Amino acid sequence: MIDSDRALQRILIIDDNPDDRLLARHELNREYPQVQVIEIGDLDSLNREIETGNFDLVITDYELKWTNGIEVLQSMKTRDRLLPVIMFTNSGSQEVAVEAMKTGLDDYVLKSPKYRIRLTQAVRLSWENSQMRRREIELEMRLQCLLDRLEVGVFRATLDGQLLEFNNGFMRILKLNSLEQAETFYQEQFASHPVDRTSEKQWKREVQIQCPDGTTVWVEISETLTKFTSATVIDGLLTDITEKKQAQSEIEQMNQTLERRVSERTAQLQASNSELEMFAESISHDLRSPIRQIGNFVGFFEQHLRATAIDDTSVQYLQRIAHLSEQANRIIEELLEYSKLGSSELRVERVDMNSLVQEVRRMFSEEQAQRKIVWEIEPLPQVRGDRILLRQVWQNLIDNALKYTRPHQHPEIAIGSKSGKGETIFFIRDNGVGFNMQGYNHLFQLFGRLHASEEFEGTGIGLANVKRILARHNSRIWAEGFIERGATFYFSLPENKVE
């Protein structure tokens, strides 16, 4: 059996000698019993078979009464250039064989007993070669069809700029109409752009090209040096990147506009911060004096009343007025501090968080001495930041932990850290009164208190200050809490290399 995509089915034997036809049929039937062999002994029979076209391979003699094998070969190859044709003759010459091979003959076999056995071998090889060529052509057509469907230009050219091959995509992208136009256009637009092809075997470039119709396109040209037969050629891909370039241009314009707007908004913000700071200083100056005077007059009034009979209720009222005066003064101080956080320059340095936490704890030593607090403090890493501002962060967080654990007989406070993605996360956890997570959105806002001022003292500015300090460090703060089950506050700092 012949190993091919399609089995050989019908063979024409064209010979005006019946004995030679019988001899050929015998050889073929012995080797290929499943193949139908049709004998042609005259011109009419040949014309009928050619008209039907129902045959796969042709075996012809050279000398025929009505023609010769060369003319039969030409006729068959005109009909199907891949149709296998074998000349089986004893009347040909070397010149005939050479001419036949140039015309497309697949094989030449002499009728002598010495070479007769070659007939079946010639049939096998000619059929297999024909099938192989058909598969190659089919694959080439499929590849060409695929390349034509792609929105990519494919081309091959010589090193001196002669365009050898190209697909429809090449024509579409460059808006070309003919082979001649494509060859001329390649010479003028592609080969004229100097490229160093000696140092690299592959190169890529982006070029803006004016098409014959007057429009311009941006194309990306990817080229590779390839050995083709004995010569070196350029195999290239052509991609239309006009839309990409337009998008890049639009993005650049948008970025420029955005940068301008950011600069404008930054200037406006700086001006607003400056005005806010001036306003805060003015307000604090204007309010401090009357509040201080209220406190002084309360003291004078209390001394005056003590010289006479004064009841306990009056004393409580005066003390309450004095307390509120002090609280108002603290609020003013913290508001002034809050307003200055946005404009003060960060003094970034190496900060030892262990010593900073211990320093803040010593500030509350008097309260700690009066309570039995269980502290659990893990070793903390060093960071880079503004030491004074980070001290305020710990001061506010530790102060809150101490404040909100006072109702508990066995207060516990834990401080530690852990590594995050590109950041170090610090935390402080207590077993105090906690808070309701439903009010979380107000936790870090100015005056965002989650507990009544009658229960716990404070101005409601501390955590807002902490949030703003950490924002200056490109960091964040968050918390979680449960009523009567304590709270945990987290804040992060970038993992900058500490030197």
Q: Provide the residue-wise pLDDT of the chain in tens; the chain has 499 residues.
A: 334 467 899 999 999 999 999 999 999 999 999 999 999 999 999 999 999 889 999 999 999 999 999 999 999 999 999 999 999 998 878 888 899 999 999 999 988 877 778 899 999 999 999 999 988 888 888 877 776 666 788 888 888 888 888 888 888 888 888 888 888 888 888 776 655 555 567 888 888 888 888 899 999 988 888 887 778 888 888 888 888 888 888 898 999 889 888 888 877 776 666 655 555 555 555 555 666 667 666 676 667 666 676 677 776 777 777 666 665 666 566 555 655 555 567 788 999 999 999 999 988 888 888 888 899 999 999 999 988 889 889 988 998 899 889 888 899 999 999 988 889 999 999 999 888 888 778 788 766 666 655 567 666 677 888 898 898 888 999 999 988 888 999 999 998 654 4
Q: Global pTM?
A: 0.42
Query: Is 360 found in the same domain as 464?
Result: yes
Looking at 97, 121, 145, which one is the last position of a domain?
145
pLDDT at 4: 44
| Both structure tokens of 240 | 């239309």
The contacts of residue 416 (CB under 8 Å, 6+ apart) are 376, 377, 378, 380, 426, 427
CA 146 to the chain's CA centroid: 27
Residue 449 lies in a domain: yes
Q: Residue 267: give the domain boundaries.
A: 249-341
257's enclosing H/E stretch is: helix 242-306
Instruction: Say whether both 385 and 470 belong to one domain.
Output: yes
pLDDT at 499 (0 to 100): 47
Cβ–Cβ under 8 Å, residues 92 and 115: no
Distance CA 55, CA 61 (A): 17
Q: Which of 367, 297, 293, 278 is nearest to 328 (CA)?
A: 293
Residues 235 and 271 in one domain: no
Name the one residue in this structure whose structure tokens are 């190209």: 166
Shared-domain flag, residues 205 and 329: no
3-state secondary structure 183-216: HHHHHHHHCCCCCCCCCCCEEEEEEEEECCCCCE
In 378-494 the beta strands, taken as DSSP E runs, fall at 382-386, 412-419, 423-430, 477-481, 487-494
Q: Do 127 and 56 meet the contact criterion of CB atoms below 8 Å apart? A: yes
Rg of the chain over all Cα atoms, to the nearest angstrom: 49
Pairing of strands 374-377, 231-240: unpaired
Q: Tokens 């003919």 — which residue?
A: 178
* Phi-psi region at 486: left, alpha or beta (left = phi > 0; alpha = psi -120 to 50): left
CA angle 206, 209, 210 (to 5 degrees): 165
1 within domain boundaries = no
237 membership: H or E segment, kind and range: strand 231-240
> Which residue is associated with the tokens 């009034």?
301
Q: What is the pLDDT of residue 271?
A: 65
* CA geometry: angle 479, 484, 490, nearest 5 deg: 15
User: Would you state the pLDDT for residue 14?
Assistant: 96
Whether residue 2 is contained in a domain is answered as no
Q: Specify whether 358 is located in the same domain as 474.
A: yes
The verdict on 233 and 330 lying in the same domain is no
E-strand ranges in 397-484 read 412-419, 423-430, 477-481
Q: Tally the domains of the chain.
A: 4
Reduced to 3 states (helix: H, G, I; strand: E, B; else coil), residue 306 is helix
Residues 297 and 272 in one domain: yes
Domain membership flag for residue 5: no
215 and 180: one domain?
Answer: yes
pLDDT of residue 498: 47
Residue 327 lies in a domain: yes
Q: What pLDDT does 351 receive?
A: 93
Same domain, 335 and 353: no
The verdict on residue 117 lying in a domain is yes
Residues 187, 114 share a domain: no
Identify whether 307 is part of a domain: yes
Same domain, 127 and 215: no
Indicate which CATH number applies to the domain containing 199: 3.30.450.20
Residue with tokens 């010589």: 158
Can you give the CATH number for the domain in which 315 is found?
1.10.287
Last residue of a domain, one of 322, 341, 360: 341
* CATH classification of the domain holding 88: 3.40.50.2300
Pairing of strands 107-110, 85-89: parallel
- In 54-113, where do the E strands start and end? 57-60, 85-89, 107-110
**Is there a contact between 15 and 24 (Cβ–Cβ < 8 Å)?**
yes
Domain-embedded: residue 3: no
255 shares a domain with 217: no
